[in-house]
Chains A and B, each alone.
Chain A
């Protein structure tokens, strides 16, 4: 099998041993979509692109689809369902069990100054506990510094649903080079002022002073997602949308 070009795997496929990163000093890290069958067999459990990172000695399958499964450290956008004595019950995806968000897990929150979130409010949070058979737990504050780092309640704006793959690509540190998404940069370059928050659970929150801007940004993101546009096509789409409005 050629090492150049993306390697696509199907569930149960055999993985070419030459593709598995081998650094003697570090332990091999397995990411989502792979299962280790002791003693030394690796089997993909989903269909997708096999990706490796030799520096971190890690291997995982990049795939787009399915339901969001919380993992520790993910940034997510949730909807508050109800609040109890100590927790807010938050939904990350519709029709799944709620995640728990402690009322004190906000910046500067004490028993007297905790935030008051009504049912239906949006929060941007980080997953801090995720086990397979337990409800996940969220936090809106960094436990190390006590700072919010941009997390917390989201006011105003509009929430858009995107695929999990696009949400992941938007959250990449180099979203243009690795993720091949340029819509947001292009929209910003076109002179639109807006703020966004991307949830790993397939949600994008967009806010702006003007309603039109929010609609343009939302449509650009959704169209990029649905039609799976390349970087050039995304640029063209943004130009088209801007022209339509002005």
Chain B
């Protein structure tokens, strides 16, 4: 497996020196995110998120399966991540790197374990039939801060997704096509989002948000915290590296909450925009026989 290309000594020294003066290589403020853009596909549940040069593609799909025997009332919800060699030559198919494991683990903790998706609502016939919701996440281009971008993309795709409507009459389960009945959104409880902080300097006293790939390679440690907009912490991860003062972490958490609120509002806006774009007047417009003249 090719090793990740490491930055030269000059770059190492310069990035840290500039950060000590409060300057970043790309001219951003220390707590500024790169430019965010989100596009939804023609299908429901397809989100394409770009954060600077990082690009993430998430696709949600649903199918009917039998639930796990130990959880007959719960549906199945999985998130799979794939870091292909397209994103960076140091990634290899079927051999997860540490980055990939960390990414899927954090997404698992943030989105799945915080009960953002109500899995009980996915149950159709207890013990026999349930929906299995699967999120496939592809990293198309890797320029740092995969975690925040991926989390945003997953949440956006899940909130955008519509599953086919169903009905049960006696013993028969009917699944309707989109033409028969409008698909229904998932039962979504809250939107947890990650914010990652990178620390620089020997004492880890320089705090940077949304690090790019170069900064990520040079940081002494990182801290990822997940919030929803109500201020509930879903997860916090500080995995190894230099020790960070408790007060700094508390300050980070406050900053993260502000950022999460900002991102949530942005995401809500994007979803509303998309639903407006899709809304062609509903069934009445479709049934109308009037021609445009």
Contact = CB atoms under 8 A, between A and B. Distances in A.
A211 B14 contact: yes
B6 to A, nearest CB: 7
Contacts of A158: 10-11, 14-15, 25
A21 B273 CA distance: 57
B2 interface: yes
Nearest to A156: B10
A81 to B, nearest CB: 9
A118 B10 CA distance: 11
Interface of A: 79, 91, 94-95, 118, 120-122, 154-159, 205, 211-212, 214-215, 218-219
Interface of B: 2, 5-15, 17-18, 21, 23, 25-27, 89-90
Given A156-B14, A211-B23, A219-B26, A95 B89 contact: yes
Contact of B27 (A118, A121, A156, A215): A215
A193 to B, nearest CB: 17
Nearest to A207: B10
A187 B17 CA distance: 22
Contacts of A218: 25
Nearest to A223: B27
Per DSSP, are chain A's interface residues mostly helix, strand or loop, or mixed? mixed
Interface of B is mostly: loop
B5 A159 contact: no
A174 to B, nearest CB: 29
Given A159-B11, A214-B14, 13 more contacts: A94-B5, A95-B89, A118-B9, A120-B12, A121-B8, A121-B10, A156-B13, A156-B14, A158-B14, A159-B10, A211-B21, A212-B21, A215-B23
A215 B18 CA distance: 9
Nearest to A219: B27
A138 B37 CA distance: 43
Contacts of B17: 211
Contacts of B9: 118, 120-122
Contacts of B2: 95
By Cβ-Cβ distance, the 7 closest A-B pairs, closest first, are A94-B5, A120-B9, A158-B14, A95-B89, A79-B8, A120-B8, A211-B18
Nearest to A222: B26
B208 to A, nearest CB: 15
A205 B8 CA distance: 11
A237 B168 CA distance: 64
A211 B14 CA distance: 8
Contacts of B15: 158
Contacts of A154: 10
27 contacts: A79-B8, A94-B5, A94-B89, A95-B2, A118-B9, A120-B7, A120-B8, A120-B9, A121-B8, A122-B10, A156-B10, A156-B14, A157-B10, A157-B14, A158-B10, A158-B15, A159-B8, A159-B10, A159-B11, A205-B10, A211-B14, A211-B17, A211-B18, A211-B21, A211-B23, A214-B14, A214-B18
